[in-house]
Every structure is written in C-alpha cells, then in structure tokens.
Amino acid sequence: MASYLVADSGSTKTDWCLLRKGKKPVRFSTQGINPYLQSKDTIVGMLKNELPWDNSKYKADNLHYFGAGAANPEKQAFLKEILKAHFAIKKTEVQGDMVAAARALCGDKKGIVCILGTGSASCYYNGKKIAEQRPSLGYIAGDEGGGNYIGKRILQYYAYGTFDNELKIAFEMRYGSDIRQIINTLYHLPNPNRYLASFVPLLKDCRGHYMVENIIEDCLNDFFHTSILKHRNSWNLPLYFSGSVAYEFKDVLENLCSQYELEIGDVIKSPMEGLMKYYKKFSGSMGGIFLL
C-alpha cells in the first residue's frame, strides 16, 4: 500500500499527518499557510524552519494538501511547486480547505459544509464533490462569523467605548490599553487576519456577559444570512461545521439552527481526524498516534 502525507491548513495553523502501512500515524504542526497573504519565500522559509523534512526517514508516496486560499487553480499551482520541492514527493494534490472539511465531515453523504475558523466559508457537498460553493470575499470584505470578523467587532467595541467597565478591564489585561499600538500592530503585521482572530479568546473567557453573547450571536447570524441561507438545500440537508470558532461556540450554532428550523450535524475543531480515517483505507496505517 502507498504512504500518504496529509495536510490540513488554515490561516493560523497547519496540521500534518504521515500515514504508512503497518505503522502508527505521525502527526506534527506548523504555522498556517495562505497563498493570498504569504509570499513564496515566506512559505519556503517557514517550512524549512518548522518542518525540515528527511525524506529517507519519513518517506511518503503521496502528498494531499488542503488549505485556506487553495481552491484557486493559480494558487494551487503556486503551492504545488513549493510543496513538491520541499518534500520531494511527485504525486502532490492541492485542494481548498472546503474539500478537506467535506470529506472529513460527510464522507459519501450529502450535506451543507461550513468552515468557521480564522475565516469562513460554506458549500453544498453532494457526497462525491463540492457541487456549489458560496463566494468568499476574504478577511477584508467578508469572512462573516470567522475569527477575524469577530475580532474586528471586539476591537470596535473596545475602541469606541461600547464595552462596559468589566469587559474594558478584561480586554486591557489581555491586550493592553494603548489603542495606537494595537492599530499600528494591526496594520503592519504580515497576517492581520490572525491578529484580529487573536481577540476571540476574550469572548471564551467572558461567556455569559450579555455583550459577549450578543457579539457571538450577531457575528454567527451574519454567517447564516450571507452564506448558509443562500444554499437552497439548507432546509433539506444537515449542516456540518469545522473550525475553532464553530467548535468553541457550538451552543450558539445549535440555537441559531433551531431558530431557522435547520438540522445540525457534526461540529469538529479540525478535519484532520476525518481525513486520517479517509486515507487510512488506502495506506493501511495502524491505530494510535506518534507526535513528531
């Protein structure tokens, strides 16, 4: 049986897993990769520093990479060139992160698949392929319900004096009170979407506060309106969710689905577990996990 190196990449983090016949899966992680936000030199440098690859020790016959920003054919070619050179694996597939979420969550079943991580996206999966996908405007003009979208709302509430004293203090204890410095950081970092998403843990720590609950529900509801409800099959098929935001605020998603009379399916933090099951069928990898 062939061996498989599988990667699931968001803008913040990339999960990697090596599956080989008769051996336990080997898992490791690096920073996220987004071809719209990072140059070739940046991605190559990150891989060399965080994932130096010894092809004699960790040999793989196939590389299947799924990532944010990787649905565009031009970006797929861009990433494939980098990955093939770094890993020296000829059989390299590059697909968008929606394909990873769909295979992990639905397998061969139909469903509406949603990603709520640093960014956001949704599609209709017909059990074999993505048959319909909502357009994504990215972190500047879109990503409703994603971490960077929620982070913008948090920053606005703090900067505009909307937070009450309790949340104001909680924000400043985590991120400081120098709004000029925060803005300077936001506009000079190479990955501002990650920086905005870094504000989301404030909401996790302050659940139950009415302003926090309003922000979470409003931002996720925006995702329902701009994305989920645009799929004609939303009322006929289960909704599946993947991503850190979806996983953390699963209760809010369940309430919104109930309000709109929609069926909610599985909610997972990362597609990797589902992808491992999918590719284990081909690799013959053993159970258990070894962390590199």
Question: Over 60: is that where the pLDDT of 180 sits?
Answer: yes
Residue 90: Cβ within 10 Å count: 9
In a domain, 32, yes or no: yes
Q: How many domains does the chain have?
A: 1
Residue 152: predicted pLDDT: 96
Task: Provide the CATH number for the domain around residue 283.
Answer: 3.30.420.40
**Phi and psi dihedrals of 65, rounded to 5?**
-110, 130
* Averaged pLDDT score across all residues of the chain: 90
In a domain, 82, yes or no: yes
In a domain, 263, yes or no: no
In a domain, 163, yes or no: no
CA torsion sign, 258 to 264 to 266 to 267? negative
In percent, the amount of the chain with pLDDT more than 70 equals 96
In a domain, 166, yes or no: no
In a domain, 84, yes or no: yes
Residue 45 domain boundaries: 4-101+271-291
Mean pLDDT across 230-253: 95
Residue 290: predicted pLDDT: 42
Q: Which of 29-33, 212-216, 257-261 has the lowest mean pLDDT?
A: 29-33
Are the CB atoms for 127 and 110 separated by under 8 Å? yes
In a domain, 203, yes or no: no
In a domain, 20, yes or no: yes
Tokens of 129: 């392929």
Are the CB atoms for 130 and 98 separated by under 8 Å? yes
Mean pLDDT across 80-98: 91
**pLDDT confidence tier of residue 267, bands split at 50, 70 and 90:** very high
Residue 173: predicted pLDDT: 95
Residue 292: predicted pLDDT: 46
